[in-house]
Amino acid sequence: MFRQKIEKSTKKAKSNIILALDLPPDEPRRLLSRSLQILNSAHPYLCALKLNRQAVLPLGLFDGVQKILSRAHNLGLPTIMDAKINDIGNTNRAIAEYYYKAGFDAVICNPFVGWDEGMQPIFEVAHRMKRGVILLVYMSHKGAAEGYGQIVQDSTTKQLVPQYKIFVQRALKWNADGAVVGATYPDKIREIHALLKDKVPIYSPGIGAQGGDAEAAVNAGAQYLIVGRTIVEAKNPVKTADQIRNTAWQSLKAKNGKI
Ligand code: XMP
């Protein structure tokens, strides 16, 4: 369901840009009105909206956040909660259920906790509520190699492999709706895309503010680009969103042919 929703909005808007609506800390009322203002004006250039705890903490999940989600849905945009859920199964289930009940169409989770009494309850809730689960595979920040790139022993094969390759296998085995790979590491996107083979789309954050390049990320195999500060903090967020959308869409068209 989630995959179909985001594919549909991508085709409609001719955009694979997901807006990370992360505003600098401010008073909740101003945060809400600025969020709605950006959403209202930039939505034609977006395929989805992503929020994280930077928004949930000041605005409240069943308060300001729900107002943003309902506006996004009215504008035809699916919504993603970048929660990086990472606890024991019982807690994970409750967290995912709250986010889905508030209206999020998908949540981002950390596969590090494993399946049994870890990720399994989240997938169960997602299937029941017809929502999506996106897994972290290789993050966008500088220290990503310390965790996602560390060499570990695969508990099944006993071979030494980088952590992210185990996460790739989990994304495939669990039939995740997406895999997050930082745009700051196009070589990793290329390598991971070759392993995922279009079975799990790549969501790529880190464009602009973190140094990632939209064209390079798409050419390496990213399907969706997550963009925050470069749009949100631009002098003209609408124009910036349109420019990034154009670059990314042309690259996607050149790579995939007709979309
Ligand atoms: P900027 O301002 O850097 O914002 O464009 C990026 C947004 O994406 C989030 N982020 C990540 N989320 N895996 C994720 O699931 C990542 O590797 C990652 N890197 C950045 C960040 O919290 C912000 O909302």
Distances 27 to 24, 33, 38, 67, 224 between C-alpha atoms, Å: 10, 10, 17, 16, 31
Best substitution site from 18, 22, 112, 233 to test ligand 1's pocket, by max atoms within 8 Å of Cβ? 22
The pLDDT assigned to 256 comes to 84
pLDDT band at 257 (very low <50, low <70, confident <90, very high): confident
Mean pLDDT of all residues in the chain? 97
Q: What is the pLDDT of residues 92-114, one digit of tens each?
A: 999 999 999 999 999 999 999 99
Q: What is the mean pLDDT of residues 35-40?
A: 98
Ligand 1, pocket residues at CB < 6 Å: 20, 22, 52, 82, 84, 108, 136, 139-140, 180, 182, 205-210, 226-230
For ligand 1, the distance from its centroid to the CA atom of residue 91, given in whole angstroms, is 23
Q: Is 84 annotated as catalytic?
A: yes
pLDDT for residue 215 is more than 70: yes
CA distance 161 to 151: 5
Average pLDDT over residues 83-95: 98
CA distance 187 to 137: 13
**Interval 14-35: pLDDT, tens:** 999 999 999 999 999 999 999 9
In contact, 50 and 82? CB cutoff 8 Å: yes
Q: How far, in Å, is the centroid of ligand 1 from the Cα of 34?
A: 20
Q: What is the pLDDT of residue 258?
A: 59
Mean pLDDT within 32-53: 98
Q: What is the pLDDT of residue 216?
A: 97
- Of 72-76, 185-189, 228-232, 251-255, least confident by mean pLDDT is 251-255
CA distance 61 to 147: 30
Average confidence (pLDDT) over 161-181: 98
Alpha carbon distance 35, 38 (integer Å): 5
pLDDT for 125? 98
Task: Confirm whether pTM is higher than 0.85.
Answer: yes
